[in-house]
Amino acid sequence: MKRLSTVLSAALFVLLPASFALAQSAPAAAPPATAGAGAQGGLEPTSLLKPLGDNGWPTYCGDYTCKRYSSLDLVNQSNVGNLSLAWVSAGLESGSGPTGTGAPAGGRRGGFGFGGGGGTPTIVGGFGTGELNSGGPARFAGSVLEVNGTLYLSAPDNAWAVDAHDGTVLWHFYWKTRGGTHTGNRGMAMWHNNLYFEVADDNLICLDAATGKEKWSVPSASFAGQYFSDSAPLVFGDHLIVGAGNDENAPGFLQSVDPATGKRQWILYSTPMKQGDPGLNTWPSLYAAQHGAGSTWVAGAYDPETHLYVYGTGNPTPAYTTGRGPGTMDNLFTDSLIAVNVDTGKMAWYYQTSPHDMHDWDSTETPIFVDGNFNGQPRKMVLQALRNGYFFVLDRTTGKHLVTSKFGKVVNFAKGVNANGNPIPNMEKAATIPGSIVNGDVTNYPPPAYSPISKLFYVEENNSLRILYLTDADPRGSMGLGGTSGGASFSFGSNIDAIDYNTGKVVWRHPVERNAGLLTTAGNLLFGGDGDYLIALNPETGKTLWHSKIGAEGNAPETYMLDGKQYVLAVAGNQLFAFVLNQPSSVGAPAVASNR
């Protein structure tokens, strides 16, 4: 851990170079000065301070801790075998015009909201002409908000409101894009009656939650700089936090804007941007640092007591090739866990999880806040399991290192760890012309979870080895992710892991084909995915208690309460699947086990 002084940390609070300035080729809609002011109903920011439970699912992780632990226990180990499908939404389609292309507002047939009928009107925005619309089934890879009986979800260039009772589509918003990278969208944020999400042509959109009508849009990153704008915004009081990423050697950053108007409050870059900035000595030159990336792909966790937001940064660029100095240069603050004060935009501490990364490890996986005992003493901690196959525990107020462990079975990119728990890169595992055998990604964006009942951390684990060939030996390196080619790979299987944060050891592994994220509940259940199946496990043993085949999941399961029923929500393909108990919980039956 490195502690930064207020003076030094302020050095990262700078303006973009002219080549990366936030610009828009078409004029943005002017935000009204009173947007959001005095709004009635909707979501009060103070409700986000509550633990996840009866308040629905109001933010990316459910609550600020990112444990994805719900206090709901109506569905529990005694009756989970009685979970039955309550409704399936209409297949949500990407919009293409004022009448939409298949987001029907359906009737209710036999208790299942399958849609059908005249079609939901689509609200259209954007600065494009419409010819770049991809159309077809929506692609979901983020969280679904549930607030006051309504679900809000997003896909690239599209957003929907869906009735949480029966899956009826209430409205659909479609953004006519100018282009950009449409890899996915991580979800939305809500503040009073305002909904926010990013679109691929680098705009932040504010919608009216009741109608889906656009209130305003502002540039969130440089469209000319080819930024990826797909992270889920977050609201902390009167701060709306938005991240941005780039694979083309532009700097990654985090920024805060006014949720009422979209006006920027501060911006924090992941790499040094001018002479005198901290961390510049970990780069071969200022130019290399300014083009060093460190994208902010995935939302982090927030501590309202300290006002610290803790999030991860992505890989440096060039990602796989030389150009960032020798392996002894750490290339700060890429592949790091960073704590920033949301009121000032200044860095409080950082911890680098992959110094001098040569494998595109992206340390942006969701961190989790846990208050518990460590070595017999109470401690406020942050837990993070990463793409590089290592698990970390830090003190979240200071960044002090507590635990580093390897949870991937075949991880070999590092020689070991140093005294501070940082992996030591093995440069022989970087891309070479004859080929290097190195481990693949052990985990990725699917969010982990934690249960205060079992006191275990849960995460997906993918095990593989691959051959990495160097195709560009130029010492200046290749742009972004270029300069390499992949060879044969071999899989050693995938699992859901349970990790003891005190030791970093894996307590149990449950084999799965694929998992899109996890959820724990006070019913002592762990929900996740196994290929085409939604599954419920015993979080203390990993034993399967229930499963249902719905197709390949697009995001992690969630849960909410409505009308005295606890719903378990999952997304597969372009549809929502909602499950409830098929009999009163007081008549609970033994859980149904399976051989999966």
DSSP 233: P
- Cβ contacts of 421 within 8 Å, gap of 6 or more: 392, 401, 403, 404
Q: What is the pLDDT of residue 584?
A: 54
Q: What is the pLDDT of residue 487?
A: 86
- How confident is residue 99, by pLDDT bands cut at 50, 70 and 90? very low
**Is residue 421 in some structural domain?**
no
Contact 394, 420 (CB under 8 A): no
Least confident of 90-94, 100-104, 165-169: 100-104
**Is residue 334 in some structural domain?**
no
- How confident is residue 262, by pLDDT bands cut at 50, 70 and 90? very high
Least confident of 363-367, 447-451, 473-477: 473-477
**Is 11's pLDDT higher than 60?**
no
pLDDT tens, residue by residue, 308-353: 999 999 999 999 999 999 999 999 999 999 999 999 999 999 999 9
- How confident is residue 115, by pLDDT bands cut at 50, 70 and 90? very low
pTM: 0.91
- How confident is residue 187, by pLDDT bands cut at 50, 70 and 90? very high
Indicate the length of the chain as a whole number.
596
DSSP-based three-state secondary structure for 7: helix
**Is 17's pLDDT higher than 70?**
no
Q: What is the pLDDT of residue 422?
A: 98
**Is 285's pLDDT higher than 70?**
yes
Task: With residue 204 as reference, give the H or E element that holds it.
Answer: strand 203-208
**Is residue 120 in some structural domain?**
no
Q: What is the pLDDT of residue 82?
A: 97
**Is 80's pLDDT higher than 50?**
yes
Sheet containing 2-3: which strands, arranged edge to edge? 2-3, 347-352, 336-341, 308-312, 301-303
Number of domains in the chain: 1
- Cβ contacts of 376 within 8 Å, gap of 6 or more: none
Mean pLDDT (whole number) for 121-130: 90
Mean pLDDT (whole number) for 86-102: 71
Q: What is the pLDDT of residue 25?
A: 37
- How confident is residue 41, by pLDDT bands cut at 50, 70 and 90? low
Mean pLDDT (whole number) for 57-79: 98
Task: With residue 290 as reference, give the H or E element that holds it.
Answer: helix 286-290
Contact 217, 223 (CB under 8 A): no
DSSP-based three-state secondary structure for 92: coil
Contact 282, 224 (CB under 8 A): no
Compute, in degrees rounded to 10, the torsion defined by CA atoms 489, 493, 497, 500. -70
Residue with the larger pLDDT of the pair 574 and 9: 574
**Is residue 540 in some structural domain?**
yes
pLDDT tens, residue by residue, 480-518: 999 999 888 999 999 999 999 999 999 999 999 989 999
**Is 590's pLDDT higher than 90?**
no
**Is 384's pLDDT higher than 90?**
yes
Q: Which two tokens stand for residue 181?
A: 């990278």
Mean pLDDT (whole number) for 10-23: 40
On average, the pLDDT of the chain sits at 88
According to DSSP, the residues that pair with 158 across neighbouring strands are 155, 174
**Is 366's pLDDT higher than 60?**
yes
Q: What is the pLDDT of residue 287?
A: 96
Q: What is the pLDDT of residue 345?
A: 98
For residue 382, what are the CA distances in angstroms to 312, 385, 471, 504, 507?
Answer: 12, 10, 39, 13, 19
DSSP-based three-state secondary structure for 535: strand
**Is residue 81 in some structural domain?**
yes
586 is in which domain, residue-wise?
A: 65-92+518-596
Mean pLDDT (whole number) for 356-377: 96
**Is residue 522 in some structural domain?**
yes
**Is 525's pLDDT higher than 90?**
yes
According to DSSP, the residues that pair with 491 across neighbouring strands are 464
Q: What is the pLDDT of residue 32?
A: 40
**Is residue 317 in some structural domain?**
no
**Is residue 377 in some structural domain?**
no
**Is 109's pLDDT higher than 90?**
no
- How confident is residue 130, by pLDDT bands cut at 50, 70 and 90? confident
pLDDT tens, residue by residue, 531-583: 999 999 999 999 999 999 999 998 999 999 999 999 999 999 999 999 999 97
Contact 220, 22 (CB under 8 A): yes
